[in-house]
Amino acid sequence: MTAIENNTVATVHYTGTLPENGKTFDSSIDRDPLTFLVGHKQMIPGFERELMGKSAGDKVEFTLSAEEAYGEHNPDAIQEVPLEMFGEITPEVGMTLMSDSGPFNVSEVGETTAIVDFNHALAGKSLTFNIEVIEVRSATEEEITHGHAHGPGGHHH
Ligand code: ZN
């Protein structure tokens, strides 16, 4: 049976919870499992490391530090920007918007400026994952060249 290593394509079901309060922040259980090419930085660093050597049918649970997950919360990634910057959009607290430098969250809206946060919503948090490995196969040459998985759950192009 194929085990997970670099240049394999893994399909897993996962549930991510916050160890601080047990809340689920993401889960594939009610949708299609996640398929990804291993060893090409598709996933957060600790996630792949914990799955190395596992094969179909294996169940794994692990907790990652913030550093191994979405990184520490960076105070410099919080910025105050003039409302004009939003153009036609009226910013509201809690909105996630896209900019040239990636997605950000609106954390405060004032009279003339808004406070926006470019940190990932899970930055600074330790994360627990429960994983069930569904399938592991060798990647094709084409997938390795492209740096992502093809086929069901992967890229279609
Ligand atoms: Zn491709």
The CATH number for 99's domain is: 2.40.10
Considering the domain architecture, whether residues 36 and 98 belong to the same structural domain is answered as: no
Considering the domain architecture, whether residues 24 and 89 belong to the same structural domain is answered as: no
Is residue 102 over pLDDT 90?
A: no
Q: Which distant-in-sequence residues (6+ apart) come within 8 Å of 120 by Cβ?
A: 70, 71
Q: Please choose, from the candidates 135, 153, 155, the residue with its C-alpha nearest in 3D space to the C-alpha of residue 145.
A: 155
Q: Half-sphere exposure of 137 toward its Cβ, with a 13 Å CA cutoff?
A: 11
Number of domains in the chain: 2
Q: For residue 147, how far is its CA from the centre of ligand 1 (angstroms)?
A: 7
Could you tell me the pLDDT band of residue 152, with boundaries at 50, 70 and 90? confident
Average pLDDT of the segment spanning 37-54? 95
Q: What share of the chain is helix, strand, coil (3-state, %, to 5)?
A: 15, 40, 45
Is residue 38 over pLDDT 90?
A: yes
Average pLDDT of the segment spanning 28-38? 96
For the chain, give the mean pLDDT: 95
Q: For residue 136, how far is its CA from the centre of ligand 1 (angstroms)?
A: 18
Distance, in Å, from the CA atom of 79 to the CA atom of 91, rounded to the nearest integer, reads: 14
Could you tell me the pLDDT band of residue 145, with boundaries at 50, 70 and 90? very high
Considering the domain architecture, whether residues 56 and 133 belong to the same structural domain is answered as: yes
Distance, in Å, from the CA atom of 128 to the CA atom of 64, rounded to the nearest integer, reads: 6
Q: Please choose, from the candidates 15, 34, 13, 18, the residue with its C-alpha nearest in 3D space to the C-alpha of residue 26.
A: 15
Q: For residue 10, how far is its CA from the centre of ligand 1 (angstroms)?
A: 16
Q: For residue 144, how far is its CA from the centre of ligand 1 (angstroms)?
A: 9
CATH number of the domain that residue 52 is part of: 3.10.50.40
Distance, in Å, from the CA atom of 146 to the CA atom of 54, rounded to the nearest integer, reads: 24
Q: Which pTM value belongs to this model?
A: 0.82
